[in-house]
C-alpha cells in the first residue's frame, strides 16, 4: 500500500507501480484531510519493486505519507481488500482475484478470524450478534455454502 497527501501524488505512484512490475493496482481509499491510499496486489518481490517505484514517484509529484508491503496477507485482509475493490469497481472484471475459501483454508482460521471474515463477506446469511454467537463449524459451513 502507498499513502499520499492528495490524489495527484497517488495517481503518479499507482502509475509508476503498475508500470514497474507485474502487479495489480486493486483499489484506493480516501481517508480524511486529503489522505489517500492505493492497494497493490501481486507476488511479494513484484509488490516490493512496485511500491518502491511508487514511493519515489509520489515524492516527486507531491507528498508521500507512508508505504508498506505485507507479505502473504491473512485471508481476512485479502477479503477486506476484495470487498473494497468490489465497492469501487463493481463493473470492472480485473483486479484482485477472489480469495479461495475452501474447507481446508477455513479450518486453519481461528473462530475470531472466521467471524471477521463472515462480517466482511457480502451476502453472509448471519449478521451482528448472530455472527458473534456462531461456532467454528457453523461459520465454516455457512462460508462454504455461500461460496457454492
Answering whether pTM is above 0.95, one says no
27-63 per-residue burial string, b: 16 or more CB within 10 A, e: under 16: bbeeeeeebbbbbbbbeeebbbbbbbbbbebbeebbe
Which pLDDT tens digits describe the chain residue by residue (148 residues)? 999 999 899 999 999 999 999 888 887 888 778 899 998 988 899 999 999 999 999 999 999 999 999 888 877 777 777 776 666 554 344 433 344 457 777 887 888 888 888 887 778 888 889 989 999 999 888 888 876 6
Helix axes 44-61, 7-20, angle to 10 degrees: 140
Amino acid at each position: 500500500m502507498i499513502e499520499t497527501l492528495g490524489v495527484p501524488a497517488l495517481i503518479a505512484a499507482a502509475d509508476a507501480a503498475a508500470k514497474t512490475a507485474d502487479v495489480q493496482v486493486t483499489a484506493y481509499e480516501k481517508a480524511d484531510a486529503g489522505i489517500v491510499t492505493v492497494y497493490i496486489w501481486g507476488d511479494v518481490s513484484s509488490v516490493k519493486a512496485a511500491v518502491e517505484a511508487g514511493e519515489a514517484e509520489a515524492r516527486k509529484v507531491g507528498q508521500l505519507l507512508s508505504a508498506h508491503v505485507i507479505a502473504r496477507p491473512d485471508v481476512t485482509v485479502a477479503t477486506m481488500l476484495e470487498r473494497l475493490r468490489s465497492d469501487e469497481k463493481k463493473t470492472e472484471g480485473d483486479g484482485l482475484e477472489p480469495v479461495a475459501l475452501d474447507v481446508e483454508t477455513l479450518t486453519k482460521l481461528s473462530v475470531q478470524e472466521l467471524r471477521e471474515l463472515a462480517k466482511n463477506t457480502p451476502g453472509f446469511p448471519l449478521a451482528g450478534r448472530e455472527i458473534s454467537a456462531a461456532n467454528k463449524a457453523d461459520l465454516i459451513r455457512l462460508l462454504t455454502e455461500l461460496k457454492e
